[in-house]
Amino acid sequence: MKTYRGVPASEGIGIGSIRVYGYIDILSTIPSDCKAKDKSLEEAKLSRALSKYKDYLASLKRVLPPTDWELLDAYELMADALVNEAVEEVRSRGVCSELAIKAVYEKYSKMFRESGSELIALRESDLKSIASSLVELVSGERAQGATLIPGSVLVADELYPIDALKLARQGINGLVTRRGGVTSHVAVIARNNDIPYLIVPSINLDEILELEGKQAIVDSIEGKLIVNPSNDLIEAYSARLKCYKRLKEKAKRYAFLRATTIDHYSVDVLCNVGNVEEARIASTSGCDGIGLFRVEFLYMGNKPPSSDTLLNVFHRLAELFKDKPVTIRAPDLGADKPVPYIKLEEQNPFLGLRGVRLLLEYRDEILKPFLEAYLSVASRVNNLRLMLPMVSRVREVYEVAEIIERIGERLGVKDPSQRVSLGIMVETPAASMMLDKLAETSYVEFVSIGTNDLTQYVLAVDRTNARLSKFYSEFDPSVLRTIKITVDQAKRYGVEVEVCGEMASKQYAVPILVGLGVDGLSVNPPVVGLIKYTISKLEAKELKNRLVTRLLNLSESEEVLSEVKKYMSEKEIETI
Amino acid sequence: MKIVEVKVMNKHGLHARPAVKFVQLASNFKSKITVCKGGSCADAKNILKVLSLGVDCGDNITLKVEGDDEEEALKQLTHLLQVVLPSEDRE
């Protein structure tokens, strides 16, 4: 038995036998004397494989941002050309379809390599990925499931999104990769398909390869991969998995209900999403709207998006949610989201030109085109809200309001800055401390607390520094006190308060945030039901008078967590 | 059949993105379209063959188009090579 620590990229528990993916080169396993028994059958197989491959590409397009579509188009063209020529190979040399694909791949990969041109962005590895996928699709027909046993725990060095999608459809119990990111395309695909996915940088694939077929547990709640576990442990985890599934089932029943505490205090449960496809999925999750739409994906190309692209996205969002609110955050660029067309050389990007500061600095290039598109859609629908990222000074709100006013006038919108439902993110201690002054501007209708950044700034802990991760906790009393100040000030001025950081998606944070008096929680779509279930088992008055007062007087985040856990178990609230 | 010689002006020649755009556009037409550089020719609708030609900036290529829509095809392909692709370099 061996345990690895990892980072959960898609929550859940998976138990199954280990399969290593993509480590053995599938092309090298094709026998060199593989002949076609029936040429027309081989041809038919090739064309079926091609159309399946194209289906995958089309599904990927729905998940990935438009900036990646060009590459997918290139893949489609390459797959077309590869299969066409493979058909010729089958006809003229009578080889089986796998060998035909391999022959074509080898011919061009050699040419690609020899051309020596550094300009070929479509590298040989892309061609190899396409050829391997096609071979798999062809052989899949020959021996169903030979390449993959459904219900396995899949381990890979790194996955192409297309492989992730393919595996998700074949049904795996868990996914582990050595490389990858929590916000990567693969993570999104895993979450959408309910597959526990853990990123384990310390894994040794040679070691794992020897354990192929043995059992493994992916605990993507606590962040553990256990290979070759004892029978007792498998039993314990099977029981946990059952509880987890039961609670998920229960949560589903709450997803489409209004979240109301026992003492009739209603809380909006909204969703955080990062592109239109995620928004579409969220619109079926039961959430009460979008609390945070991240537009950054539109800005990651070589230039800012065209106004048509922006208009199209805003229109689709407004339509998807009809009378439910959709909160669009102005692009939060800089810091950990650099863009190629703005060169920032900074010693300390997290304290640098980012969020609304960057927007105002580059107002002609980014802010004005964005607001123009936003206003022209928002003035014709009634459910869009606008949110400013990383506000740290009161004048930033005035400056943006003035720009809105001018653009609105030009577009013929009456009283633009009053008609726009404007909100700010509270991510800096400054915004929290100055919330009364921000509210007095009369422009701010709502605030949303971004706990990820707020925690890093309150604690002065870089959230991307792994060595500091033990110091980083949203449950730290200092963070809770900052949230309390924010909520109290907002309430005094009749400004709505939501929380949109990761904290809102954590079940143990719900009693705290509801007790502090927030009006809404914006969460990841898969946990909408769970968060609503939790809210419905709580009593707001009691939380405020008993639990929260006690928590605010503690010193350590661990103490806060253990108090909350105790409280929830006393109330017989099931937790994951 | 129409034949025309074009000088490739864009930075990346017919590699990567420009090659994809070229092949995508060529595939929209019914005509048979061949692109030649030096002594070798390739089916303009086949990305692998077009990439293997190794067309770089400054190369002269020959487009041969044969079919019902040959005129329109030639017009659009030369426009792509001479106007659209070079203008994208500047963005």
In chain A, which residues fall in CATH 3.50.30.10?
A: 2-231
Architecture (CATH level 2) of domain A269-503: Alpha-Beta Barrel (3.20)
Look up the CATH number of domain A2-231: 3.50.30.10
Residues found in chain A: 576
pLDDT (tens digit, 9 = 90+) per residue, A262-304? 999 999 999 998 888 778 888 988 999 999 999 998 898 788 9
pLDDT (tens digit, 9 = 90+) per residue, A447-491? 999 999 999 999 999 887 767 878 899 999 999 999 999 999 999
First to last CA, chain B: 35
- pLDDT at residue A182 greater than cutoff 70: no
Triad A399, A400, A402: Cα angle to 5°: 65
Q: Which of B16, B24, B49 sits opposite A122 (nearest CB)?
A: B16
Tell whether B51 is within 8 A of chain A (Cβ). yes
Least confident stretch, A81-85, A296-300, B74-78: A296-300
* Burial of A287 (C-beta count, 10 Å sphere; 0-12/13-18/19+): buried
Question: How far apart are the C-alpha atoms of A509 and A513, rounded to whole Å?
Answer: 6
Least confident stretch, A5-14, A405-414, A541-550: A5-14
Question: Taking residues A93-97, what's their average pLDDT?
Answer: 95
What Cα–Cα distance (Å) separates residue A104 from each residue in A100, A251, A431?
6, 51, 60
Q: What are phi and psi of A340, to 5 degrees?
A: -65, -25
- pLDDT at residue A223 greater than cutoff 90: no
Q: What is the pLDDT of residue A181?
A: 66
Smallest Cα distance from A299 to chain B, Å: 15
pLDDT bracket for residue A150 (50, 70, 90): confident
Chain B (20-49) residues lying within 8 Å, Cβ to Cβ, of chain A: 20, 23-24, 46-49
Q: Which residue has the tokens 């299969």?
A: A83
- pLDDT at residue A381 greater than cutoff 80: yes
- pLDDT at residue A399 greater than cutoff 60: yes
Greatest pairwise CA separation for chain A in angstroms: 82
Task: Assess contact for A339 and A402: CB atoms under 8 A.
Answer: no
Note the helical H segments in A65-96: 69-93
Q: Which of A77, A84, A119 sits opposite B20 (nearest CB)?
A: A77
**Which residue segments constitute the domains of chain B, with CATH numbers given?**
2-90 (3.30.1340.10)
Q: How far is CA A173 from the centre of its chain?
A: 20
- pLDDT at residue A357 greater than cutoff 90: yes
Contacts of A568 (CB under 8 A, 6+ apart): A508, A511, A575
Q: What is the pLDDT of residue A446?
A: 98
In chain A, which residues fall in CATH 3.20.20.60?
A: 269-503
- pLDDT at residue A124 greater than cutoff 80: no
- pLDDT at residue A523 greater than cutoff 60: yes
Question: Taking residues A387-397, what's their average pLDDT?
Answer: 98
Q: What is the DSSP string of A288-311?
A: SSEEEEE-GGGGSSSSPPPHHHHH
- pLDDT at residue A255 greater than cutoff 60: yes
Question: How far apart are the C-alpha atoms of A42 and A91, rounded to whole Å?
Answer: 9
Q: Do B56 and A108 touch (CB under 8 A)?
A: no
Q: Do A81 and B48 touch (CB under 8 A)?
A: yes
pLDDT (tens digit, 9 = 90+) per residue, A190-205? 887 889 999 998 898 8
Question: How far apart are the C-alpha atoms of A100 and A82, rounded to whole Å?
Answer: 9
Q: Which of B12, B48, B52 sits opposite A119 (nearest CB)?
A: B12
Q: Do B47 and A78 touch (CB under 8 A)?
A: yes
CA dihedral A65, A69, A75, A80 (to 10 degrees): 130
Contacts of A575 (CB under 8 A, 6+ apart): A247, A507, A508, A565, A568, A569
Q: How far is CA A456 from the centre of its chain?
A: 20
Question: How far apart are the C-alpha atoms of A310 and A316, rounded to whole Å?
Answer: 10
Task: Give chain A positions within 8 Å (CB) of B20.
Answer: 70, 73-74, 77
Q: How far is CA A82 from the centre of its chain?
A: 33
Question: How far apart are the C-alpha atoms of A145 and A513, rounded to whole Å?
Answer: 47
Task: Give chain B positions within 8 Å (CB) of A81.
Answer: 46-49
Q: What is the pLDDT of residue B30?
A: 95
Pick from A124, A71, A108: nearest CA to B46 = A108
Task: Give chain B positions within 8 Å (CB) of A115.
Answer: 51-52, 54
Q: Partners of A35 in the beta sheet?
A: A95
Token pair for A250: 């229960």
Q: What is the mean pLDDT of chain A?
A: 90
